[in-house]
Chain A
Amino acid sequence: MDPLTVLLVVALSALSTILYIFIGILPGTDETATMAPVALTLLLAGVDPLLVLVWFTASIAAFKMADSIPVALAGIPGGVMAVPQVPDALTAKEHGLADTILRKGIASSVVGQFVALAVCLSLSYYLMPAGEWLRTADEVLGVKVARWFWLILAGLLVLALMSRSRVAALATIPSFALLVQGLRGVYGRPVFISLFLGITIGPMLFELLSMLHRDLRQAYARRGAKEVRLLRVGRISLNPLRILDREELAHSALWSAATSVLAAVMSPVGLTILIGDLIRGSVRDRVRGAVLAYTVRDAIKNATYIGGILIPLLVIGVPTGPMAAGPAAPFFHKLESLGATPRDYIVSRYDYPTIAVALLAATAIAFLVAYPILVRYSRRLTVAVFRRVPAEALYGLFIAIVIMLSYYDAKVAGIFGTLVVSLVSGALWRLGVSLGVLFMALVAAPTLVALLTALPL
């Protein structure tokens, strides 16, 4: 790595960390909606994909550390991944342990991300030769099908079965694939960005359009301002080793290692709920169980995001899980300016040690910046963000970026295509279909539709 690249790694990691601390604290900031468009914009702007990956890794560290802060202080999740921590936080807060879970969450995030990086980088190094085998195509019903497709299909089925509405989720897979391929046929080229962004903003746009309907609007109506009750916290030590006890450290490290690998094909939210609930249920003391579950869930959030991108990126080469097909999707789709996918560019242009060092450096810088800020100023930051950033301005920004990128993808038709996809996605999400199913169906769509139309039925 030349000195300029080193400087850029440091600068981008620090910048990404500061930006995502604020985004993480803000309520209602969905990970895919906030991480993917920024990464995509940087890639399209011509930033080296490895540097964008560095940015992305630092953003995971900061976002997943910061999104549980409003949970601990106010019971409000800063992002989708922090939602499973709300019941633990409420139990802990009832017993005056808000500052305890706040500091334990921050410390276990550090543990989760470093353990996941160590496990995934080591495992990927040994599994890399399997990537070639997975990318080999076999002929099925006269259609060339890459072997990784079966991995995606298996992940899709698991995710659909884990959705709140299993039947709807299973029925959605071929239907949504047909919608996507139909739009691509109309556009005349295999667009990805506008379709992906359509899914991303689907829930928000569906709710928003529901509010424009006179009869439905009343269900969303609220009078006055939203009251946010913030608890006071005591002074917290800067030494993370004094924050976690042995049991918390062991659970955080063990489950981070296991879930980082599972996230290559499984849902990070699903794993955070599953493991956290198992731990909470296994401890007899209700308060102790809540604190332990909250702490481990924070580690799992970072670990699943790291594993969810690294294993598909370094080994498989295609987005096989909801994390890779969602927030990390921009790395897996061909960019005209590069003539390849950012993923292929990274693994062909940089050797393994360079990638590993860059990602470890991004994580170390992110935590060096975020940890002291969050430990010392988390409450003041939360108050400032809650008091000064209007939700309307933030949502307006997201919508504007989606409109611009949809136009970039397929001109005016792209904007309306995004609208169709987002309305369908939002409606399906309301019916209990996980957005991960839609993201993965988008990736699997070309092969899935080719196989559907080739069926001798």
Chain B
Amino acid sequence: MDEDVHYELYGEYVSLRELGVSTLICTAFAMLFYFAAPAVAEALDLQVTGISITLGAAGAALGFAVSMLVTKVKRVVVEV
């Protein structure tokens, strides 16, 4: 695939490969944290439902931070 060709999605230029990698990373972290919730809830004596969503969201956010390192910005800002 031509590295210089991107695709316009919602007004943004994206690389399908990078989008796939980023989605995979965020989903993997989210589900990993989600499934770890029962063990965490038991250790902290908390309700599983609440903590599973919280941990899943935290995992997704961590995935976002990691994704920022492995994806490149495809905007060139020209100050006029």
Residues of A within 8 A of B (CB): 27-28, 30, 41, 44-46, 76-77, 203-204, 207-208, 211-212, 217, 220-232, 336-337, 383, 386-397, 399-401, 403-405, 407-408
Contacts of B54 in A (CB 8 A): 41, 45
Docked complex Cα distance between A27 and B75 (Å): 11
> What are 21 residue pairs bridging A and B, where the CB atoms are less than 8 Å apart in the complex?
A45-B50, A208-B9, A211-B7, A212-B16, A224-B4, A225-B13, A226-B76, A227-B75, A228-B77, A230-B80, A386-B73, A386-B75, A387-B73, A387-B75, A390-B74, A392-B18, A393-B71, A397-B22, A399-B27, A400-B23, A403-B27
**Residue from B7, B49, B68 in contact with A220 in the complex, judged by beta carbons closer than 8 Å:** B7
Q: Write the nearest CB–CB distance from B62 to chain A, whole angstroms.
A: 10
Contacts of A392 in B (CB 8 A): 14-15, 18-19, 21-22, 67, 71
Contact across chains for B7 and A400 when beta carbons are under 8 A apart: no
Q: Write the nearest CB–CB distance from B65 to chain A, whole angstroms.
A: 8
Residues of B within 8 A of A (CB): 4-16, 18-19, 21-27, 29-31, 34, 47, 49-54, 56-57, 60-61, 63-64, 67-68, 71-80
Contacts of A388 in B (CB 8 A): 68, 73
Contacts of A407 in B (CB 8 A): 31, 34
Contacts of A393 in B (CB 8 A): 22, 26, 64, 67-68, 71
Contacts of A27 in B (CB 8 A): 10-12
**Residue from A203, A217, A224 in contact with B7 in the complex, judged by beta carbons closer than 8 Å:** A217
Contact across chains for B56 and A404 when beta carbons are under 8 A apart: yes
Docked complex Cα distance between A222 and B63 (Å): 27
**Residue from B9, B11, B29 in contact with A76 in the complex, judged by beta carbons closer than 8 Å:** B11
Docked complex Cα distance between A28 and B13 (Å): 11
Contact across chains for A229 and B11 when beta carbons are under 8 A apart: no
**Residue from A30, A390, A408 in contact with B73 in the complex, judged by beta carbons closer than 8 Å:** A390
Contact across chains for B78 and A390 when beta carbons are under 8 A apart: no
Q: Write the nearest CB–CB distance from A76 to chain B, whole angstroms.
A: 6
Task: Look across to chain A and name the residue whose beta carbon is closest to the beta carbon of B24.
Answer: A396
Docked complex Cα distance between A94 and B74 (Å): 26
Contact across chains for A395 and B14 when beta carbons are under 8 A apart: yes
Contact across chains for B56 and A232 when beta carbons are under 8 A apart: no
Docked complex Cα distance between A405 and B59 (Å): 13
**Residue among A227, A396, A401, A403 facing the most chain B CB atoms (10 A cut-off):** A396
Contacts of A391 in B (CB 8 A): 9-10, 12-14, 74
Further pairs besides A44-B53, A227-B78: 7, Cβ < 8 Å: A27-B12, A221-B6, A222-B8, A232-B80, A390-B71, A396-B25, A404-B57
Contact across chains for A401 and B60 when beta carbons are under 8 A apart: yes
Contacts of A397 in B (CB 8 A): 22, 26, 60-61, 63-64, 67
Q: Write the nearest CB–CB distance from B18 to chain A, whole angstroms.
A: 4
Task: Look across to chain B and name the residue whose beta carbon is closest to the beta carbon of A76.
Answer: B11
Q: Write the nearest CB–CB distance from A423 to chain B, whole angstroms.
A: 16
Contact across chains for A401 and B19 when beta carbons are under 8 A apart: no
Task: Look across to chain A and name the residue whose beta carbon is closest to the beta carbon of B17.
Answer: A392
